[in-house]
Structure 1
Amino acid sequence: MMLQEISASNNRIRWISKGDFPKNLVSLDLKSNPLAGIKPGALQNMPRLRKLILSDVRGLNELPPLDGCTSLEVLRLDRANLSKIPDHICKTSPRLRSL
């Protein structure tokens, strides 16, 4: 059995790097972490990812590219203090239904 869901909310996570999470994840919850940054490629090429929760992530200013997250349906960004979201997010995540 492979790990499919990670809930790491309220864990004081400040940085996410490429390779921190398995590419076969279906759900990733990082809400309420003081994220200062997400390194390039950290959340890319995760074709099974359906839900990404970045609510209450106050230190992050820009959502990184989500290229290759073709199954993404739910992206929670409420109270995330983001000033920029990739222009092509709907193109790279065609199944996105909730933003």
Structure 2
Amino acid sequence: MGATKLDIYDQNITDIAMIAKVFAHPARVAILQYISKQESCICNDIVDEIGLAQPTISQHLKVINDAGLLHGNYKGKSLCYCLNIDRFRAFQELLNSFFNTTQTNCC
């Protein structure tokens, strides 16, 4: 989809597509799950835990971050990540609303 066509869609539709992209790759789901189980922000542990190369993890983190699901801060030279719970809950409500109001009237 060309970037010039995104403005024809309702913001809710764009947000659903963004969250779907996050959950469309198993590595991103694993990253979110790992971060959610930590008691504090985590840094380079993701690479060791997930088992993918650091550049690959960074690409996945960018997609997750672009959706607004992460908070990050620097500790020394490392960027540490936590879940943005408010955004996570907003997406949850959006998806629940979408699934609860979408009906099938097909054969």
Report the TM range for the smaller structure's normalisation: under 0.3
Structure with more of its chain in strand, by fraction: 1
Higher normalized contact order (CA 8 Å, seq sep 6+, divided by chain length): 2
TM-score by length of 2: 0.24
TM-score by length of 1: 0.25
